[in-house]
Amino acid sequence: MPSSRFQQSLKNPDDFTLTFELIPTRGGRNRKIDATLRLAGDLTIDGRIEAVSITDNAGGHPALTPDVVGLEMKELGLDVISHFSCKDKNRNEMESLLFGWDRVGLHNLLIISGDYPQKGYCGNPKPVFDMDSVHVLDLLSHMNTLEYSSHATMPTRFFKGVVVSPFKTTEAEQIMQYYKLHRKIIAGADYVITQLGYDARKFHETLLYMQLNGLNKPVLGNVFIPSMPLVELMHKNQLPGCVIPDSLYKEFQLEAKAKDRGKKARIDRGARLLAVMKGMGYNGAHIGGPGLTMEDFDFLLTRATKYETEWESLIPDLTNWPQDQFYCYRKDERSGLNLPEQLPRKKPALIQKPRPTFTAANLTHVLVFESGGPFFKIAKKISLAMAETRLQRPFHLLEYLIKFILFKCQDCGDCTLSKLGFICPQSSCAKYLLNGPCGGSRDGWCEIYPGRRKCLYVRAYQRLAPWKKEEQFKTGFVPPRNWKLADSSSWINFFSGKDNSGGCSKE
């Protein structure tokens, strides 16, 4: 079966691939979804985009599912990218859904952690996050092989996209975004889409990072045309991961004084951004924004074409990232973008006194839980001797008490402390992520608890960087939690090989 139009375009180095994001709303039959389908019909006739991408419960709100909308769009003749988020489904539901999507030909995916679930029927739902985006990529890569599928069906044919954010204000957040991208690509990502933003140099940073680190995957830049209410939300940090700095906010406000409330000016900014992305070497652009019409889309692309030859002169106008915030690379004063020269990391942010808990836990780990450690053999002997005896319960209780006091342990039995800077993801990450941060943190704070709780991965980076151990987040893979081990001794599980230390649990 030939690959999709979208895939063919991404594989062709001479193509600049355009995709368009559509957001299904709450409800299966309403005027908004009819309008979305009409727009999709017009986009098909227009022929300039390679695929529409369809969100999965965007903003954490329940909405019409991407597969239902996707199939209708396919019937119109459009290629479809279905977003696949981790927030609402456990691993079995994911697999079941993926079998269905494979059957009906929805093969282009965009794998995301997902926005934290918001109010639904009778209150807020349980945030599932059973697997993170790296786990889903690994599952998909396995499903795409004959070996995995031989028990059940033919290999699937998923084409797997991921997201990365260039728009993080602090060193720890930005570097961890890029390190997670390494893990995503190792786990099988086929293409990358950036988070939305408006600063040319930050967009360039992602391209440069990928080039310098051998992350050779096609990347689409996000061209998002916001409405003014969205500008307000982004500026107030109420849309996770979307940043509008003060200087840019003022520009939007000035533009909003026009008769059309600044809509044309906002689309024009999108057109300039698109031209700059093409000029700097992006493989394509991912266009989106609420309420965009066919006329707006046409205006955007016509203007972008006009700007193409002068893209370098547009960079100063698209420079709005605060200079005192984090950049990976030295500025190229000539172009306004970046030189391939890494800026020194800001030491003061990193040199924090090693926390006694971390130092003690690290030392204990080396002495007791590493196979060459002096106490490894005896600890293993004692732990295994406890297993399946009357002493197992008190042994487990003692372990739990120590780990609860030190790490707020949640007794999962499948411990990942040593892989995450001795911070428990079950109690310290709202999305229980095991392989790197989501895209929602802002100024180091967790998306869900701004100003109250630091992102787990910021804390882990700050703990590990002074020891030069932070690069462990680039490679490696922390398997999803095995729920069979809940409420059991992780020490016994570790020494008996039942936990995540040897890879995916066989239990």
Footprint on this chain of ligand SF4 (rule: CB under 6 A): 429-431, 433, 437-438, 440-441, 446-448, 455-457
* 8 Å CB contact between 262 and 197: no
> Nearer Cβ to ligand SF4, position 88 or 447?
447
Q: Where are the alpha helices (DSSP H) in 369-489?
A: 376-386, 392-407, 425-428, 456-464
Q: Is 80 in a helix, a strand, or coil? A: strand
> Nearer Cβ to ligand SF4, position 380 or 431?
431
Residue 162: CB minimum distance to ligand SF4, A = 15
> Nearer Cβ to ligand SF4, position 440 or 479?
440
Residue 178: CB minimum distance to ligand SF4, A = 15
Residue 196: CB minimum distance to ligand SF4, A = 17
> Nearer Cβ to ligand SF4, position 188 or 439?
439
> Nearer Cβ to ligand SF4, position 225 or 417?
417
> Nearer Cβ to ligand SF4, position 136 or 456?
456
In terms of Cα–Cα distance, which of 431, 400, 419, 394 is closest to 475? Answer: 419
Residue type, 458: V
* 8 Å CB contact between 272 and 318: yes
Residue 432: CB minimum distance to ligand SF4, A = 8
Residue 322: CB minimum distance to ligand SF4, A = 21
CA geometry: angle 464, 504, 130, nearest 5 deg: 80
* 8 Å CB contact between 221 and 273: yes
> Nearer Cβ to ligand SF4, position 440 or 480?
440
* 8 Å CB contact between 284 and 16: yes
How far is it, in rounded angstroms, from Cα 361 to Cα 356?
8
> Nearer Cβ to ligand SF4, position 107 or 481?
481
CA-based R_g, the chain, Å: 24
Residue 157: CB minimum distance to ligand SF4, A = 30
Residue 443: CB minimum distance to ligand SF4, A = 11
97 to 94, 100, 447: CA distances (angstroms): 5, 5, 28
82 to 39, 71, 105, 400: CA distances (angstroms): 17, 10, 11, 42
Residue 439: CB minimum distance to ligand SF4, A = 8
In terms of Cα–Cα distance, which of 144, 86, 126 is closest to 110? Answer: 86
> Residue 72 phi/psi, 5° resolution?
-65, -40
> Nearer Cβ to ligand SF4, position 386 or 455?
455
Q: Is 219 in a helix, a strand, or coil? A: strand
> Nearer Cβ to ligand SF4, position 407 or 457?
457
Whether the CA torsion 355, 361, 363, 365 is positive or negative: it is negative
Residue 78: CB minimum distance to ligand SF4, A = 32
Q: How many CB atoms lie within 10 A of CB 19?
A: 27
Task: Provide the token pair at 201.
Answer: 């140099």
> Nearer Cβ to ligand SF4, position 307 or 326?
326
* 8 Å CB contact between 128 and 89: yes
Residue 430: CB minimum distance to ligand SF4, A = 4
How far is it, in rounded angstroms, from Cα 259 to Cα 115?
34
The bridge status of strand 329-331 relative to strand 338-342 is antiparallel
Residue 57: CB minimum distance to ligand SF4, A = 16
